[in-house]
Amino acid sequence: SNNNKKMLKFVVVALLFCSVLGQQAGTNTPEVHPQLPTQYCTNATGCTTQETSVVLDSNWRWVHSVPGYTNCYTGNTWNTQLCPDPETCAQNCALDGANYEGTYGVSASGDTLTLGFVTGANVGSRNYLMNSESTYQIFHLKNKEFTFDVDVSQLPCGLNGALYFVEMPEDGGMSQYPTNKAGAAYGTGYCDAQCPSDLKFIDGQANVLDWTPNPANPNAGNGFYGSCCVEMDIWESNSISTAYTPHVCSTTGLYRCNGTACGNGNERYDGVCDKDGCDFNSYRLGDQTFFGPSMTVDTTKPFTVVTQFFTDDGTDSGTLNEIRRVYVQNGKIIENSVTNVPGMQNFDSVSDGFCTAQKTAFGDQNEFETKGGLAVMGQAMDRGMVLVMSLWDDYAVDMLWLDSDYPLTKSPSTPGVARGTCATSSGKPSYVESTYPNANVKYGNIKWGEIGSTFAAL
């Protein structure tokens, strides 16, 4: 209709008017955040529902010209006319709204989020919890616990349903970088302890310098900059193996790295973040019957994961000194597995002492200790962290570090090498994407609050 044309004309003029501002928010698809209510709990008053929602990370989104529909980025390459340099690209290009279920396989129902694996050309997703239309929910987890239900029954070898916290900016970086006009509403500002350089935008600028398409991955490449920050991996898992892993950095907040600071390749231990982390993987630590199909924690059925963050003096202001894990399944509380490694005393939680003993027993470099250990993780929690819920496959090393034998250069009988029962030939993205496109993970019933307030036995 004529009315529609007038409206279109107005939108185009408005977009033209905005185009000098920088990394834009596109409106070709309306951005509607799926509602995902969560609960905050205290021992005195129980749990109170929070009106929270989820947003898809900006890296998965269509990036196009403003105004118009021309791709700024196609497959794994940038449009050099629209994106000759970082600043011009941020001015010329917009992140668009997401069709969550149709394009990305992301859907919320009640308090449960389902992430699909292959949806059309899309693979996996990364999503953040929001507490308003323009801000992420910020978590302060010291002297608190975080609990969620998970269903990993549809996650085969090579997949990783990951739920974790990173020290992202609350508004996605908008206030700090005026060229970022999209912000948390469009999932900007990601960082983690791997200092990922595959992000298309960092600090309000396009990561186009030295962009190199990934020869193995049709959707990804790597730019000059990486995006680093402290990362608390509450949950990395499939139906075979699981791990929880704190990673610390010598920097605070989102740090845009380049060169040695990113810790790539043989500079792994020279970067600002501890990429190995201090992991508690029950199988790797000597209990081969604890986690898996029909095991103590039976991955063919849903269960509840509780992670508790204890401080040295039992207060919110104390120093983080222990991260404990409890499971609940079929109404029964299941205490975490106990380590069974030659020459290593028994542990059932993550502490600085555990990390030192584990790294020593496995002959691994203790970068976690070098970068400050749990105390530094606690400082990031004081500043506040954002919840990430994702599903991914691994174009670097086929997820062997989680569920198989890794590294391949060492004998599987060497302590610390065997991490799960998956074959070393498993986990190749081309195989899992074509064989298990309908794989998915469900996260639900998210609760956080005072220790002991978020779960109970039936």
Produce one character per residue of 294-305: b if its CB has 16 or more CB atoms within 10 Å, e if not. Answer: ebebbbeebbbb
236 in catalytic set: yes
Phi then psi for 68, rounded to 5 degrees? 110, -165
Q: Are 192 and 166 in contact (CB under 8 A)?
A: yes
195: which residues sit within 8 A by CB, 6+ positions away? 226, 227, 228, 257, 261, 262, 263, 264, 271, 272, 273, 275
Q: Hey, what amino acid is at 424?
A: T
Task: Choose the catalytic residue: 31, 167, 170, 231.
Answer: 231
Q: What angle do CA 210, 216, 221 make, to 5 degrees?
A: 25
267 in catalytic set: no
8: which residues sit within 8 A by CB, 6+ positions away? none
Task: Choose the catalytic residue: 167, 236, 322, 367.
Answer: 236
- Strand 297-298 to 291-292 pairing: parallel
Q: Given phi > 0 = left and psi -120 to 50 = alpha, else beta, which region is 342?
A: beta
Local structure of 267: helix, strand or coil: helix
Q: How many CB atoms lie within 10 A of CB 3?
A: 7
**Which residues are catalytic, by number?**
231, 236
